[in-house]
Structure 1
Amino acid sequence: MDALTLIGLLFAVFAILGGQVLEGGSIESLANGPAFVIVIGGTLGAVFVQTPLSTLMLAIRMMPWMIFPPQSNPISAIEKITQWSLIARKQGLLGLENILDSERNIFDNKGLSLLVDGGEPERIRETLMIELDVREREGVKAAKVFEALGGYAPTLGIVGAVLGLIQVMGNLSEPALLGTGIATAFVATIYGVASANLLFLPIANKLKSIVQTQSLHREMMIEGIVLISEGENPKVIESRLRGFVPDKGKV
């Protein structure tokens, strides 16, 4: 669970609401149904128009990653590959067939299958790199759905503001109705800018980061599998793969 995401969202919400109270305003004044419908509804509609259904569905499936990101433990992955290399060194590549069914990661399972089938190292690398590139492109495209939401929301906030001002101008002779139009105008702008900068754009950037982390994991798996197919020493394989693990003590 990524608690930092929840902390960030709560911090942002409390900062805005707290600032409103400190300015002498009321929290209730920020609740405006028409403004919400204009900004959020219009933003979603614009994104629906520009996004293929498959990409939209993938983006929806990726949303839980903000709180529950896919587990990626490079140290465990290195230990797994090193164990595979030891088995291959003692029993040959066919010895890995016994663990093929127990490998749950789809990408790792495919690489292991190619290894057991005795594929040439470069052929294995080429096949897995194609899949890595496709998965990364699809993941980035899905993340950009939220980036698009962040791009459209402020503009729809301006649309909401203009609609509110139109209502104000149409009711100049009825002062009692002016407040509603003015509230919609200003609150719509807040909804648009706040949703873009506190929600949509951060989600897009977080998902892109997760996709990059997954790609790095797959690159490491490809390197390890290719080294095993080349008959490299297990200690050399482990040493090479540790280069994929960032040293948190250094920049």
Structure 2
Amino acid sequence: MNAAIRQHAVLFDLDGTLIDTAPDIVAAANRMLDELQARPLPFDKIAGFIGNGVSTLVQRILDASALEPELHTVALASFNRHYAETNGRFGRLFPGVQACLAGLRAANYRLACVTNKPLAFALPLLQMHHIDIHFGIIVGGDSLASMKPAPEPLWHACHVLDVAPRHACMVGDSGVDVAAAQAAEVPVLIVRHGAPEPVAAWGPAVKTFTHFDQLAGLLAAIPVYPERELQS
């Protein structure tokens, strides 16, 4: 391990961070609504629901469409069926991701993907975009009893990578990633992909970047959290 590296592990979110998956998700969601005999929702509306897992996504879509909550089980099954067909079909890898991951591995960082996407969808998506090989562990939304913003998925990834949380960094794109990192006492960096700055409520400690060629330099500047016992 390079002694100059203070952050030894990087935990990456997936949707909206590494891969623009919104086109895949929106396509499946509107196919689900068509099956439920409801009108399609605008792209940005559905995209704004992404981040808290599939079940919550489906419930938000039902609410936005004024559909009965009792339809959730049927709607969830419908979405999963359609998403199995659209997953990886319309989305794209964000610029610089492949080179960034390869560069971090070459610099002896240990990498994990920590996502709220079910593992059955996350793993094939990473494989389709040829970035699965970079990760020592992939933690899906159904891998543990809890998902982000709970800290346990981040702690679990650190445990498997054999890196203390204070020597890891979470890289994400949303308040869910910020909350999970803060709960786990893991430093966090947020990629904006050219979007406006995040809300002030995230606090000044949350640093942002717009392209993955900036990440290596930002990692070297992150202050290390105080010593704490590694949690599994």
Structures share a fold, TM > 0.5?
Answer: no
State the TM-score, normalizing by the size of structure 2.
0.22
Q: Which has the higher contact order (CA 8 A, sep 6+)?
A: 1
Q: Between Structure 1 and Structure 2, which shows a larger proportion of helix residues?
A: 1
User: Looking at CA atoms only, which structure, 1 or 2, has the larger radius of gyration?
Assistant: 1
More strand by share: 2
Normalising to structure 1: TM-score of the pair? 0.21
